[in-house]
Structure 1
Amino acid sequence: MTLRLRVLSDLHLEVADWGYQSQGEDLVVLAGDIANQAKVAQQRLMRLLDSIAVPVIYVAGNHEFYESVLTVDDLIADLRGRLPPHVHLLHRDALEVGPIRFLGCPLWTDFSLVDGVRRRGVQIERETAMHAAAFGVSDFAQINAASEAYGTYLVRPSDMAAWHAQDRAWLARHITQADRTTVVITHWLPSPASVSPRFVGSLLTPYFANDCRDLMRDPVRLWIHGHTHDACDYLHQQRVRVVCNPRGYGDEPASGGFAADLVVAV
């Protein structure tokens, strides 16, 4: 049995609406940054989801947690209660559709992908990448975390690295246990091969991308992600297809490559 997957990410409905038209797919995959929590964005999101007649698999990106006072865990619970029944929100969750098993989580980042990233000609350390992200990425002024000691507070790079470790361990365990063809869906980039050439060497690349190539093993056949606004579609070691199909903001200078009608068979 072959499933036809409509692959979409980074629609950023908070910036502009987007109209869905079926391409005869069996299932729609939304790999994060579809809409933040602003009222108009959520209205557009619900209209979009209501217009889709087939099952939807949705993995949250970083922007899903923007414009909200809720913590990550509380917002995921809130979304689960509001999304239509045909929409499956995977947040460290597995879903079986026919012979295919889907594994979904944001993935986040541990800021370890620092090879080739230099500052004043010197290879940077992981701590430098974390510091650059803390001051250069809006996540750290928008996303809420919580602990017993501190209550609710703005997420720190160390929190994000801890979430990444949890997501990575969860994926590794479920990939090892999988007994059928598996599709992994994350928001964050799982490989340096997904980094656009224009961002290679950027101080912020360790925030955007991870190196999970060791998880691209049997029975994984497809890994879908978002986060970057540069589309990519390639094979890892001729076995695992990696696909990213982001719309982006629409007016940004980018190589783009968004294909509104992209369908991937697995």
Structure 2
Amino acid sequence: MIRILHMSDLHLEMERWRLNIVGWAAFMAQHLTVPKHLLRGPMIEESERVDLIVLAGDVHNSVRGIVYADQLSRFLQAPAVYVAGNHEFYHQNIERLLPALHRAAARTNGRVSFLENNVATFTFDQQRLNVLGCTLWTDYDLYGDPAGAMHTAVRRINDHDAIHTGRHSFAPEDALRRHLASRVWLHKTLARLRHYEAGSKNLIVTHHAPSGAALGERSGGIGPAYASELLLEFASYVPAAWIHGHTHFRHESEEEGIRFVSAPRGYVLYDGMAAQEYRPGILEL
């Protein structure tokens, strides 16, 4: 059995406004009661063994999330895999930040693997596990009107003001192009792994959700910016599970024979004690 601790949407960048958060002083004091505990972020239980840490995006802006992942890996003495969410790219050039995230992870001496259309492979108790990771973005086709969904996204989603490509603001067309590239990569990679590594387990990790069933409060007009209907399309590859983030909706679900889960923390600035009382998800494969 492979035991995985997974989290997403920690939004550590929000902790800068901690003085405005009710109960913050007591929450931070908890971190100091556990030897070697990380000084920020959610409280992490060190007592239970985990084989792998999965961070499914929106951990912190820029490369700061890699620093957090490295600290968490050291604390729990387990390797970590990390995919970027949309917030990692806020106030950044996405074309420059992606290689910077890879370089930052490479400097952790194997403790952190940053994934964007690539695979990290591990062996736990003689069981080989391939982790396929990407941000994924979205096809905007959740409700069958991608053009309308893209128009709504421009007006209502901060990504298209806060992220840049070096030439222009990050547009829905850029997100769609990246989504399609990741989708093709997932198909090719899963097909290859299933053919050549039939005995391995394959775990998919994305930031954006693979099903509209995971939208929670992100349903309605903005829903297509958060999720695409992909589970039926990928069911034939029989992945061991699919971990995602982005929707701020915690769940453990199954659809089309695929287990898909999310354990988002949310915004400490807005979610108050609920975010402070957050605990990671545990997935056993």
Query: Under a length normalisation based on structure 2, what TM-score does the superposition of the two structures give?
Result: 0.78
Q: Equivalent residue for 1:264?
A: 283
2:263 aligned with 1:245: yes
On the 8 A contact 1:13/1:44 being kept in 2, the answer is no
Amino acid at match of 1:105: C
Which sits farther off after the overlay, 73-82 or 42-51?
42-51
Is this contact kept in 1: 2:66–2:101, CA < 8 A? no
What does the per-residue CA deviation read over 1:173-221, in whole Å, with 9 as the maximum and x for residues that have no partner?
111222332100000011112121x443x11101111011111333302
Q: In the superposition, relative to structure 1, how do residues 134 and 42 fare at CA in structure 2: closer, same or farther (>3 Å)?
A: same
Q: Distance in 1 between matches of 2:236 and 2:268?
A: 34
Residue 96, structure 1, aligned to residue 115, structure 2: no
Secondary structure in structure 1 of the residue aligned to 2:181: helix
Provide the C-alpha distance between the structure 1 equivalents of 2:146 and 2:85, rounded to a whole number of angstroms.
22
Superposed, which structure 2 residues align to 1:179-190 within 5 Å? 179=194, 180-190=200-210
Of the three residues 58, 62, 78, the one matched with 1:37 is 62
Gaps of 5+ in 2: 16-39, 195-199
Letter of the 1:250 counterpart: V
Distance 1:45 1:101, change over 3 A: closer
Identity of aligned residues (%): 29
Q: CA RMSD in A?
A: 2.4
Corresponding residue SS for 1:107: coil
Shift of 1:100: 1.4
- Return the offset for 1:50: 4.7
Which residue of structure 1 aligns with residue 146 of structure 2? 126
Of 52, 56, 61, which aligns to 2:80? 56
Correspondences of 1:19-34 after superposition (within 5 Å): 19-22=43-46, 23-34=48-59
Deviations along 1:131-165, whole A, 9 cap, x unmatched? Answer: 1111211100111225xxxxx22111111111100
Task: Give the match for residue 141 of structure 2.
Answer: 112
Report the Cα distance in structure 2 between the residues aligned to 1:208 and 1:129, rounded to whole angstroms.
11
Q: Which amino acid aligns with 2:132?
A: L
- Is the partner of 2:142 in helix, strand or coil? coil
In 2 relative to 1, CA 140–172 (structure 1 residues): closer, same or farther, beyond 3 Å?
Answer: same
Residues in 1 aligned to 2:223 and 2:122: alpha-carbon distance in whole angstroms: 34
Q: Does 1:172 align with 2:187?
A: yes
Aligned to 2:19: none
Distance in 2 of aligned mates of 1:42 and 1:96? 19
In structure 2, the residue corresponding to 1:15 is in which secondary structure?
Answer: helix
**Cα offset for 1:48?**
4.3
Unaligned 5+ runs, structure 1: 116-124, 147-151
Change beyond 3 A, Cα 1:182–1:259: farther
Residue-pair matches, total: 244
Q: Secondary structure at the match of 1:242?
A: strand
- From the two aligned structures, give the one with the greater helix fraction: 2
2:209 aligned with 1:162: no
Shift of 1:49: 5.1
Task: Tell me the residue number matched to 1:119.
Answer: none
Candidates 76, 101, 104, aligned match of 1:82: 104
Q: Normalised by the size of structure 1, how large is the TM-score?
A: 0.83
Residue 235 (structure 1) aligns with: 254
**Please, which moves more after superposition, 203-212 or 14-23?**
14-23
Alignment correspondent of 1:121: none
Letter in structure 1 aligned against 2:170 = V
Using the alignment, how far apart are the partners of 2:236 and 2:271 within structure 1? 35
Query: In structure 2, how many angstroms separate the alpha carbons of the residues matched to 1:4 and 1:43?
Result: 23
Distance 1:65 1:140 in 2: 11
Letter in 2 for 1:114: Y
How far 1:102 moved relative to its partner?
0.9
8 Å contact from structure 1 (residues 175, 219) kept in 2? no
Contact 2:82 2:113 in 1 (8 A): yes
